[in-house]
């Protein structure tokens, strides 16, 4: 009876989300905001997987159940807002592709997490990540300014912080991924190279520089974890990834708030 009630409740939620499309969407006022919010979608794909795994392994640190609900709603909300803002045909098609990929994922996330479905979810979210990345780059190109690219790179760091975390958590859960090492090495390499580029940017304010220095300290945890053969505590991974996410989210917002250059 409880399972039926739960499914019935989620059915009502999904129905409401469908019938109220456009009512919850954020208002995007300019291209800098569009690049920031489109880039945030990339991060949300990886954060959802991180929460899913935390719930699956039975770890309640950071309240992943509540976070997954919030992040799922946020992705839907932002997708609607970006769709309403987009005028370029290529960008519109890219957002349509996100919608096509997102709807079945949203249904999977409403079901109790299982190790058997985690791999499938990872693959679907990776496809959604690629689609969101395409959208972000299209918005960034429309700015025609170097700040658009910096917002794109900074926003991508948010995604990488969550990707590194969920890759390791999947390994802890026992989800076999033969490409785990390649994926982790690629994420670490891209994060490090992007961070150095951001640190050297002439768009940096004193506040941005301080935050990037803090991120550089915190990423050392993942560098050590990547080299170590020890098994790290999931809650520690969750916490460290969120610290980096928080700082990079602030940095990206500060870049977006600047006058487009």
pTM for the structure as a whole: 0.86
Contact yes or no for 12/28 (Cβ under 8 A) = no
Q: How confident is the model at residue 176 (pLDDT cuts 50, 70, 90)?
A: confident
Q: Residue for token digits 């870049």?
A: 255
* Residue-wise pLDDT tens digits, 185-239: 999 999 999 999 999 999 999 999 999 999 999 999 888 887 777 776 888 899 9
Integer-rounded Cα radius of gyration of the chain: 18
- Segment 235-261 mean pLDDT: 90
Q: Residue 51: its pLDDT value, please?
A: 97
Q: Residue 8: its pLDDT value, please?
A: 46
Q: How confident is the model at residue 259 (pLDDT cuts 50, 70, 90)?
A: low
* Residue-wise pLDDT tens digits, 32-76: 999 999 999 999 999 999 999 999 999 999 999 999 999 999 999
Cα-based distances in Å from 190 to 9, 133, 172, 193: 41, 14, 23, 5
Q: How confident is the model at residue 10 (pLDDT cuts 50, 70, 90)?
A: very low
Higher-pLDDT residue of 222, 102: 102
Q: How confident is the model at residue 16 (pLDDT cuts 50, 70, 90)?
A: very low
Give the residue among 165, 184, 168, 251 at the shortest CA–CA distance from 216. Answer: 251
Separation CA 167–CA 260 (nearest Å): 35
Higher-pLDDT residue of 47, 4: 47
pLDDT higher than threshold 60 for residue 7: no
Paired tokens of 191: 């994060």
């Amino acid at each position: 009876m409880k399972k039926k009630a739960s499914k019935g409740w989620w059915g009502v939620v999904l129905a409401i989300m469908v019938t109220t499309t456009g009512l919850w969407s954020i208002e995007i006022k300019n291209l800098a905001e569009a690049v920031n919010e489109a880039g945030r979608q990339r991060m949300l794909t990886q954060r959802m997987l991180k929460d899913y795994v935390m719930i699956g392994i039975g770890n309640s640190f950071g309240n992943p159940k509540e976070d997954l609900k919030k992040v799922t709603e946020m992705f839907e909300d932002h997708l609607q807002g970006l769709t309403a803002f987009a005028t370029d045909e290529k960008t519109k098609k890219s957002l349509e592709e996100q919608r096509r990929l997102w709807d079945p994922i949203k249904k999977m996330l409403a079901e109790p997490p299982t190790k058997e479905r985690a791999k499938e979810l990872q693959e679907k979210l990776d496809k959604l990540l690629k689609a969101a990345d395409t959208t972000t780059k299209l918005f960034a190109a429309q700015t025609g300014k170097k700040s658009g690219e910096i917002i794109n790179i900074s926003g991508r760091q948010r995604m990488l912080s969550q990707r590194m975390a969920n890759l390791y958590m999947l390994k802890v859960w026992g989800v076999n991924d033969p490409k785990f090492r390649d994926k982790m090495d690629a994420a670490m390499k891209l994060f490090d190279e992007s961070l150095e580029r951001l640190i050297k940017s002439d768009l940096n304010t004193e506040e941005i520089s301080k935050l990037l220095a803090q991120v550089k300290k915190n990423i050392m945890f993942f560098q050590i974890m990547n080299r170590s053969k020890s098994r790290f505590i999931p809650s520690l991974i969750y916490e460290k990834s969120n610290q980096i996410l928080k700082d990079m989210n602030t940095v990206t917002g500060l870049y977006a708030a600047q006058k487009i250059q």
